Amino acid sequence: MTTAFALTPQQRAWCARLRTLGEQLAPLAARCEDGRVDRPLLRELGTLGLLARAVPAAPPWRRGSALDLCLLRESLAYSCPQAETALALQGLGAGPVADAGTAEQRARWLPAVAAGRAVAAFALSEPGAGSDAAALALHAEPDGGAGDDDPAGSPDGWRLTGTKTWISNAPWADFYTVFARTGEAPGARGVTAFLVPADRPGLHGEPLDMLAPHALGTLTFDAVPVTRADLLGAPGAGFRVAMRTLNLFRPSVGAFAIGMAQAALDASLEHADSRAAFGGTLRDLQSVSHRLAEMATRTEAARLLVYAAACAYDGSDGEGADLARRSAMAKLLATETAQDVVDAAVQIHGAAALQRGHLLEHLYREVRAPRIYEGASEVQRSLIAKELYRERAEARGAASGRAGAGEGPAVGVGEAVRDDPPEAAAGRAADQAGEDRL
C-alpha cells in the first residue's frame, strides 16, 4: 500500500533491486538480434521470478497487484527496456488466459509462460482495425453443429480466416490470444476470444521491421480450426475479455514510459553537470536548468497519476466504475510526457545522442510506440471525455433520485451493480467506456 502515493521503504528497496537486476540483464539482452523474441532473456526473467509477477504461475492463478506491476515495469524500463518489454508482452499475451481461461488452458500454458519456457502473444490489431474494435474483420466461420451444453446454440467449432498485424512476439510466439468476429451482435459485442496454439494448421506469420527493436509480425489465418475448448470466455464476450486485460495493463504502459523518462532525465542531469560550455557547464545556463526542472516535474506528475490509477485498480479488485478513465489518463499523460522528456534529453545532449548505440538514441526509438499501442493517445482522450460526461450524468441522476425520494441517498449506477459478477462489471465498463474502442 501507499501513503498519499508515497512508496514504502520496502517498495523503494524493491525498485532499487529491480534496477540493479536490469543492469545485470542488459548484456544478455544486447546479444539478441533486433526484432526477434529473446528466449534466453525470457528464461532468465523466469528464473529470477520476475515473470511470475506478471503471469500467475500456479492455482488459484491470481495475478499480482497493479501497483506492483507498475513498479516492476518502471524499474526495469529504467535500466533495461528490452527486459521490461519481454516481461510485459508475456503478461499481456497470457492475461486473457489468466482472466478467462479454463482450468486446462491455465494449467497447460501459464506455468510455462511464467517460467519463460513458452512465449505468449496478444493478437488484436488488424490492417484495418487498431483501436476500432467494431472494424475487426478476422472472421470465425461456424464449423460443426451446435454444442450440446450451450443453450445459446454456439457451434462446436469455428474456422478463423483473415489477418492480424503489428502483433508483438509474432511470428515466434507459442500461442496467441486471438480476437475474432463470431457475429452474436453488431460491433464489439460480436467478438470472441480464442486461445490459438502456434502449430495450428493454416496459421502463418511474417516478421515486421519496426522502428523500435521489438519482435512484431503479421499473422495470416487460412481457415485455422478452433473448438469450444479454445474459447477464452463466452462467445461474443471477447471485447470484455480484452478490456479486462487492457484496464490492468494500461497504467503499467505509463509506468514503462516513466521508467524511460527517468533514465533520460538522469542522463541529462549528469551530462549538464559535466559538459563544459561558455565558461561554465550546461547546468549554469538558465535555459538548460529550467528545462531540466520542467522535465523532472512533469515526470513526477505522470508517475503519481500512474500510481493513483494502479491503486484505484487494486482498491476495487479491478471492478471500479472509474477505472477506464483513470487508466486512460495515466497512459495518456505518462506516454506523452515521456516522449517530450526523451526529446528534450536528446536536445540537451546534442548530436552525440543521435549516434547509434547511445542510450538516448535507443530511448528515442523505444519511447514512440507506447503512444500508439494499447489505445492511441487520441483514443484515450476520447475515452476520458466520454467517461467524464457519463460520470456527470450519473451524478445528476443520483442527485435527482435523492430529491425525488426525499429520504436517504440514492444509489448511483456505479454502486447499484457492486454485487454483480466480475464478468458483468467488466462488461459494463467495456460497454460504457469506449464501446467499440480498445
CA-based nearest residue to 192, from 219, 223, 221, 154:
154
- Does residue 60 have a cis bond before it (omega within 30 degrees)? yes
**What b/e readout covers 385-424, taking b as 16+ CB neighbours within 10 angstroms?**
ebbeebbeebeeebeeeeeeeeeeebebbbeeeeeeeebe
C-alpha distance from residue 307 to each of 56, 71, 294 (Å):
22, 9, 20
Q: Among the options 374, 391, 394, 415, which is catalytic?
A: 374
Taking the C-alpha atoms of residue 341 and residue 263, their distance in angstroms, rounded to an integer, is 10
Question: In the annotation, is 366 catalytic?
Answer: no
- Strands 216-227 and 157-168, sheet pairing: antiparallel
Q: Which phi and psi (to 5°) does residue 290 adopt?
A: -65, -35
Indicate the residue type of 37. Answer: V
- Strands 175-181 and 216-227, sheet pairing: unpaired
- What is 377-405 written as a DSSP string? HHHHHHHHHHHHHHHHHHHHHHHHHHHHH
DSSP H helices, 101-183, are 103-115
DSSP type of residue 51: G
Where do the DSSP E strands lie in 169-305? 175-181, 191-197, 203-208, 216-227, 276-277, 280-281
Catalytic positions, please?
374
